[in-house]
Amino acid sequence: MAEITQQLSDYRLTTARIIYHLPDFHDILQEYIWQDYDLAPRYPNLKDFLTFWTNEIEGKLHSVYVARKQIITAGDYRFAEWQGTVQ
């Protein structure tokens, strides 16, 4: 699906900060940043990625922090700071 179509379908730019254990050094944590358009609050794309991670990648997940940002929003209203008559 095209990005604009996703945004109009209420998808939001979602960023996940994934903290995981290094496979060979379990006491050391590493960070991975994942970003994609996803549908809050269910986050199906992120859940699919985390399922893939759990099944295919050796680093055990420690924690996941999620942030989202609405890209297409209603326009901002701006009021004039000057009022007068032009003749």
β-pairing, 12-21 vs 29-38, is antiparallel
- Split at pLDDT 50, 70, 90, the class of 6 is confident
When pLDDT is averaged across residues 26-49 and rounded to a whole number, the result is 93
CB atoms closer than 10 angstroms to residue 62: 12
Q: Is the pLDDT of residue 27 over 90?
A: yes
* pTM (global) more than 0.85: no
Q: How far apart are CA 19 and CA 12, in angstroms?
A: 22
Q: How far apart are CA 65 and CA 33, in angstroms?
A: 10
With pLDDT > 70 as the criterion, what percentage of the chain qualifies?
78
At 44 the pLDDT is 94
Helix residue ranges per DSSP H, 3-85: 3-8, 44-56
Q: How far apart are CA 44 and CA 87, in angstroms?
A: 59
User: Of the ranges 34-43, 49-58, 66-75, which one carries the lowest mean pLDDT score?
Assistant: 66-75
Nearest to 63 by CA among 81, 50, 74: 50
